[in-house]
Amino acid sequence: MFDPMQDLGPRLKAIRMASEKSLREVARTLEVSPSFLSQIENGKSQPSVATLYSISRYLGVPVDTLFAATFDSKNSSNSSSAEVTSRTLIDRPTDAWDEVGARISLVTAQNRSVLTMESGVRWERLAATQESDINFMEIIYEPGAGSNANGELVVHDGYEYGYALDGEVEITIGDSVLNLSKNQSIGFDSSIPHRFKNTGSEPFRGIWFVHGCHPSK
């Protein structure tokens, strides 16, 4: 698997500097210490899910680009681009079928792009498309893993839809606390404060789709 976290820090630093924002300014806004943010940028620490979304939102960068910066759906050997041959008669709306090939992503289990975060949280990208406001991934929460170590709620743009493959995860959405287990599914507005926590003894695995997740500017 391909892990963008290996150069996530330098990439975030480059984005921050391009935005002409100082390390202290970003740290103050995100309510983290400058030293912690510096450690993330230097690859010495891994952000939590909450911190990753906060940085993404503040810098105006879709979380999806954190995968895409090192995982190209058309050119990378980690992804196979399916060739499409037109199967329709001429002069039909579907004559544009050949254009679809550039928007198809086939990813094998061995070649997924992966984000590994603190406390045992892993996101594995299931498809790489040009849609920057969509995340389609398998999420894994190891026993005891959560959105962040402090139990703070996460807020970001978009809607989330998930299906549990294995294990169980506790999901807090606003004032509601729900337990999502195998073969159950869920959908919710991500602008409602929320967090995930695996309180069980087995890893939780789920298929997750986040739509409209481009940070507000």
pTM for the model = 0.66
Q: Across residues 36-42, what is the average pLDDT?
A: 90
Alpha carbon distance 180, 139 (integer Å): 13
Is pLDDT at 26 greater than 50 in this prediction?
yes
Is pLDDT at 39 greater than 50 in this prediction?
yes
Domains of the chain (ranges; CATH) run 4-69+110-211 (2.60.120.10)
Alpha carbon distance 209, 161 (integer Å): 5
Question: What secondary structure does DSSP assign to 168-210, as a single string?
Answer: EEEEEETTEEEEEETT-EEEEETTS-EEEE--SSS-EEEEEEE
The pLDDT score that the predictor gives to residue 69 is 42
Is pLDDT at 128 greater than 70 in this prediction?
yes
**Bridge partners of residue 170, in order along the sequence:** 179, 197
Q: Across residues 160-171, what is the average pLDDT?
A: 98
What's phi and psi for 129, nearest 5 deg?
-120, 180
The pLDDT score that the predictor gives to residue 96 is 45
Alpha carbons within 13 angstroms on the beta-carbon side of residue 65 total 16
Label residue 118 by pLDDT band (50, 70, 90): confident
Query: Tokens 């709620």, residue?
Result: 153
The pLDDT score that the predictor gives to residue 65 is 67
Q: Across residues 110-121, what is the average pLDDT?
A: 82
Helix (H) or strand (E) holding 135: strand 134-141
Residues 1-20: tens digit of each pLDDT: 545 455 678 888 888 888 88
What tokens were used for 85?
């041959």
Among the residue ranges 13-22, 55-64, 152-161, 203-212, the one predicted with the least confidence is 55-64
Label residue 78 by pLDDT band (50, 70, 90): very low
Residue 65 near residue 129 (C-beta atoms within 8 A): no
Mean pLDDT over the full length of the chain: 79
Beta pairing class for 185-189 and 159-166: antiparallel
